[in-house]
Structure 1
């Protein structure tokens, strides 16, 4: 059987030629080891003719196929962790600002809700700009909403920093840390 220390892929078994068994005669001028690429011989005829029917997909000027709503929703969810992190940061900063202000929390709560509505509008605007620029002008397919989520997260992070800058004890603590 040979040397068993060789890996299995390198082991070969020699088969002696057997009388009466040979390579069968090939048709269509087949030669072993030679590919018939680029030869201009007799044209091959297909057993079944190929008939192309316009289905509407892939034809110039045809509308793109409609995708199900679940595809659109899954596309919007991709990148949502950026917006979630921005909302969480803005909420914590808003909470510090609202509690430090003392008094009634109705006005600060209204400000927070309006800020979230502005962030949602910014997200929608970023998606619209992405659709016009990427899909309609450049002809690319968007596979996620990461860009719009990132724009929204940057806005919410800046909003949270602005709330912290309006909190007196946070500003004085920041000044004390940076001056020492």
Structure 2
């Protein structure tokens, strides 16, 4: 029995030999560090044959695996706050311009809707350009749509500034502030 004054991690317990359990017999060809294999020329039998398809995923030149629609939608949403901020700025500026013009709001509303459609087309063009340049030419993976959203936001902000420049009282206030 081990000395009880030693710490528990340093104690050793001797197990008496058990009948029927022993060290397995070693083969004559045993060499340490060398794996034992079957006799040479033995045919390998497997329950299911391994068939390798050279066109499957993982092979060079193989098509990339298709991703679900939810993955694509999540990718398009990343960076959407840029487009939303640009659209909000453009809407406020359009509202100031439309109300300052007086009269019927049908024509300014049509202009705003067409401007949003142009912004959506610009977004699609930026995504297409990113796909061609980044994915196909450079071989990179796009994980978001931040670049396309940023391009769209800059366009919408510029559109809002253009509407403010067409509003007479806003231009007068701006000139008054910059001259004083």
In the superposition, the TM-score normalised over structure 1's length comes to 0.75
Partner of 1:32: none
**CA positional deviation for 1:60:** 1.3
**CA positional deviation for 1:179:** 1.5
- Report the count of equivalent residues: 157
Distance 1:70 1:14, change over 3 A: closer
Larger of the two Rg values belongs to structure: 2
Partner of 2:144: 144
Supply the distance in 2 between the matched residues of 1:100 and 1:58 (Cα, whole angstroms): 61
Supply the distance in 2 between the matched residues of 1:45 and 1:142 (Cα, whole angstroms): 47
Distance 1:85 1:44, change over 3 A: farther
Distance 1:94 1:16, change over 3 A: same
Deviations along 1:110-168, one digit per CA (max 9) or x if unpaired, are 11111001000000000000000011011111111111000000000000001001111
In the superposition, the TM-score normalised over structure 2's length comes to 0.75
Partner of 1:34: none
Gaps (5+ residues) in structure 1?
1-11, 29-39
- SS of structure 2 residue aligned to 1:57: coil
